[in-house]
Amino acid sequence: MRIVVDEISGKSQFRLEDADEFGSLHIESADPKCRIWADRLSALGRPSGAQQVFVKPDTIRALAGEQALDPSWSKRFEAMIEFADHRGWLSPAGEIRVHIALRV
């Protein structure tokens, strides 16, 4: 999964791409020339350092739209969250720590 960030009129817009890819989750810029900083993503989640954001699972579900209503998708998403929990990637509040992918 990729949370893609578009800067439109100075405001961040978010969309979820590859919503069926449960083996990875990161944030990236729609513009490969643009670098994203966590402190500019407060509309998405809670910044954690310069290159990570804690994102609520419900926020990701909302970005997935109608796809999140599919019981099969929801089951795989819950398994991804459980995996993240076992790896120490969840906050005490249940948010998923998502890294910002750097493009070179």
pLDDT grade for 103, boundaries at 50, 70 and 90: low
pLDDT tens digits along 21-52 = 999 999 999 988 888 888 888 899 999 888 99
Take residue 52 and report the two structure tokens written for it.
């990570």
- Mean of pLDDT values over 89-100: 96
Percent of the chain residues past pLDDT 70, beyond the cut: 98
Q: Which residues contact 53 (CB under 8 A, 6 or more apart)?
A: 27, 38, 41, 44, 45, 46, 47, 97, 98, 100
Domain chopping of the chain, boundaries? 2-100
pLDDT value of residue 39? 81
Predicted TM-score of the model (pTM): 0.91
User: CA-CA distances (angstroms) from residue 2 to 9, 21, 24, 92?
Assistant: 22, 9, 8, 23
